[in-house]
Amino acid sequence: MNKATRTTSLRQHKLTFLKDNNNSLQLQTRSQSFKQNISISPDKKSQISPTKQNSVFLNGQLLTRPRSKYNQQANLSTTKLQDSQKMFLIQQAQQQQAQQQRSEQSPALHRKQQSDKVLKYDLPKISPIKARIPIKQLQSDMNQLDLFKREQIKQNLIKSAYTKSQAGKNEDNLTKTNQDSFISLQSFKDNMSLFGVCDGHGQEGHKCSQFIRDNLPKNISSQLSQSPSSITESISKSFIRTNSQLCNAEEIITTFSGSTTVISLIVDDTIYTANVGDSRSIICRLQSNGVKTAISLSNDHKPDLPQERRRIEQSGGRVEPYIDFDGSSLGPSRVWLKSEDIPGLAMSRSFGDKVAASCGVICEPEILTHKIQEGDLFMVLASDGVWEFLSNEQVIDMIYPYYVQDEGNAACVRIVKESIKLWKLNDTVIDDITIVIVFFNKQK
């Protein structure tokens, strides 16, 4: 037998490939306690790398075998293997065959089982060799550890999220097109979650709200990637960019159509709420004395607010309610052109609405931040179909029993039914109603 041509180290044992007169390879393992020869057939010698062998210890001995895809075909010499080692190889082959059969019978189930076995984030393991590397080279591992910690915060913070949207009815009691849309992305981006409600209005309001639902999250994600340190600025730029895309969309006419939008972006334990219009976001906090309070995460943008009215009037618009033929005021304050009774928008900020935008209605969001504290139980985002006749306190009082019982879907149904009942009692129409409820785990 000729001189050894290659030697490599694996788990402190030496693997030596030897070539005999028949030009076949022989793998020899050497250690202080064990010495074993394994013959490898010539047709496999080009497929097996000595640095990628799959080695195991069994009964104090080192068993070296080719990779799993060759287990059933490799020509291993078993003359000196113990019975337990033979059983090990047989069992491995049987398990692989059974696993392959299961995957062929139910590919979806197999993928789910495999994904359940894999951790989403692996904690960095710094070896003694790596510990001698300069700190700058270890920065990627530390970033991974930081990401893992933030992901754990998010998972521990949000328990679950629930949604429900129902179309309203017109004066003839006929169900109309639902112009509301909602956003519920619990795993939005890295350590972030995103929730929102869009309330469309006008002839093509449903198209506007759906466009915002589909494009605003993409723009926020893109802006955050470009400027991860400035979350509020990224959100504001995303609103403006989405509005520009909406107004330039050929398939949507936004002359007298648009949509309100409120979103809550949760980053670690901080909520960034951006609002345009009169959809609303609140949070329920349970005080130490057992009293529940509703904390507003957004402000409704009504035209008669001093700051909003000032901007509209400076832009050439006017703010007043609708005036009927008798000169009586009807309904809330609205935005009108200086010399024409259009568009009559009942909010001072919105997406779309090109005519209203010409007289001071803007899409720039008002962004408020909230640090989640002990006692914060759940968050609610809803269109004005809910807030028209229900106060913040009434909403959290109705939801709280369902939070205790962990029945979020039932809580959504309760709010929708109560809102419909009040619309029937107070108006001839029923507005579209959309609600998103986010349950938090108890904070320590």
Q: Each residue's pLDDT tens digit in the chain (444 positions)?
A: 444 444 444 434 444 444 444 544 444 444 444 444 444 444 444 444 443 344 444 444 545 444 443 344 444 444 444 565 667 677 777 877 787 776 666 655 555 555 554 444 343 444 444 444 454 444 555 555 555 545 554 457 899 999 999 999 999 999 999 999 999 999 998 889 999 999 999 999 999 999 999 999 999 999 999 988 899 999 999 999 999 999 999 999 999 999 999 999 999 999 999 999 999 999 999 998 989 999 999 999 999 999 999 999 999 999 999 988 888 888 899 999 999 999 999 999 999 999 999 999 999 999 999 999 989 999 999 999 999 999 999 999 999 999 999 999 999 999 999 999 999 999 999 999 999 999 998 765
Name which of 104, 130, 191 is nearest 156 in CA terms.
191
**Which token pair is 402?**
């369902």
Domain 162-301+351-440 sits in CATH at 3.60.40.10
Q: What is the pLDDT of residue 259?
A: 98
221 backbone dihedrals φ, ψ, rounded to 5°: -60, -40
Q: Are 440 and 155 spatial neighbours (Cβ–Cβ below 8 Å)?
A: no
Please, what is the angle between helix 392-404 and helix 408-426, to 10°? 150
Beta strands per DSSP E along 5-124: 6-10, 13-19, 25-30, 35-40, 54-58, 61-65
Contacts of 75 (CB under 8 A, 6+ apart): 39, 40, 41, 44
Non-local CB neighbours of 36 within 8 Å, separated by 6+ positions = 28, 29, 61, 62, 64, 80
Domain boundaries, the chain: 6-107, 162-301+351-440
CA distance readout (Å), 378 to 145, 150, 416:
28, 20, 17
Please state whether the peptide bond connecting residue 365 to the residue before it is cis, i.e. omega within 30 degrees of 0: no
Q: Give the predicted TM-score (pTM) of the model.
A: 0.67
First to last CA, the chain: 71
Number of residues that this document lists for the chain = 444
Residue 296, φ and ψ in degrees, nearest 5? -75, 130
- Beta-bridge mates of residue 16: 7, 28
Q: Locate tokens 């306190």: which residue?
A: 393
Residue 349: predicted pLDDT: 98
- Decide: 245 and 215 in contact? Cβ < 8 Å: yes
> Where do we find the tokens 């369902």?
402
Write phi, then psi, for 84 (nearest 5 degrees). Answer: -65, -35
Annotate 162-196 with b (16+ C-beta within 10 A) or e (fewer). Answer: bbbbbbbbeeeeeeeebbbbbbbbeebbebbbbbb
Residue 71 has a pLDDT of: 41
Give the closest residue to 375 by CA, choosing from 294, 268, 288. 288
Integer-rounded Cα radius of gyration of the chain: 33
261 with 366: CB under 8 angstroms? no
Q: What is the pLDDT of residue 108?
A: 58
Cα(237)–Cα(239) distance, integer angstroms: 5
pLDDT of amino acid 82: 54
Coil, strand or helix at 58: strand
Amino acid at 329: S
Q: Measure the CA–CA gap between 160 and 148, rounded to whole angstroms.
A: 20
Contact assessment for residue 434 and residue 418, using Cβ atoms and an 8 Å cutoff:
no
Lay out the sheet containing 329-337: strands in order across.
317-323, 329-337, 343-345
Q: What pLDDT is stored for residue 25 in this prediction? A: 46
Q: What is residue 110's predicted lDDT score, i.e. its pLDDT?
A: 55
Take residue 264 and report the two structure tokens written for it.
């809550």
Phi, psi angle pair for 156, to nearest 5°: -75, -20
Residue 195 contacts by C-beta under 8 Å, 6 or more apart in sequence? 161, 182, 183, 184, 185, 263, 264, 266, 379, 381, 436, 438
Phi, psi of 371 (to 5 degrees): -90, 120
